[in-house]
Structure 1
């Protein structure tokens, strides 16, 4: 099993080859292929590589499959005994990505 832990939009995700994952919205078109190079950890065949903070030799190729909205998140503010109530909400944007391959550069 090969996997990596990467930084996408200041959040860390575990990526496994040929799997799908939902990440915060990436501003690229559907079908675009992107290289991720902020890799914290890489595991392959019993070997574990840790970056400090990132690994320079490893990059990950992903493909954007879909852009979707998540479930609605409600924000409710209230101050007791003052009659103040505010209810707002929003639906966060996500991108569905597929991990195509892990690329290792030779040094």
Structure 2
């Protein structure tokens, strides 16, 4: 997703408490002063810092399944768990390496496999 300083975004639930600061370090591309840089796959010297505003649920969707001619009908609903955060700053260079309170790993399954 494309992020800008001062805007809020909703993503799938992150493991961070409301009010805490998170660091999103997996930046694919960065544009500053007309210069566009792309990572291979990520830019190591660019990081996004954000403040977690709230945890919430998304809109309810209806899941309906049935089997024709068998009188089998089931209706379920689902609400996705979401986290809303506001981007406080986009850091570049030496400043990007300084981590705030919480660092969010966007792929927790890979982290557990590496630890094992």
Same fold? TM cut 0.5: yes
Give the distance between the partners of 1:26 and 1:33, measured in 2 at CA.
Answer: 12
CA distance in 2, matches of 1:14, 1:49: 14
Residue 35 of structure 2 corresponds to residue 47 of structure 1: yes
- Is there any run of 5+ residues in structure 2 with no aligned partner, and where? 95-116
SS of alignment partner, residue 53 of structure 1: strand
CA RMSD of aligned residues (A): 1.1
Give the Å deviation of 1:105.
Answer: 2.0
* Aligned positions, number: 94
What TM-score, normalized to structure 1?
A: 0.82
- 2:58 maps to 1:66: no
Which has a greater percent of strand?
Answer: 1
- Runs of at least 4 residues off by over 4 Å: none
Q: Which has the higher contact order (CA 8 A, sep 6+)?
A: 2
Residues 25-70 of structure 1, C-alpha deviations (whole Å, 9 max, x = no match): 1121111101111111111121111111111111110100111111
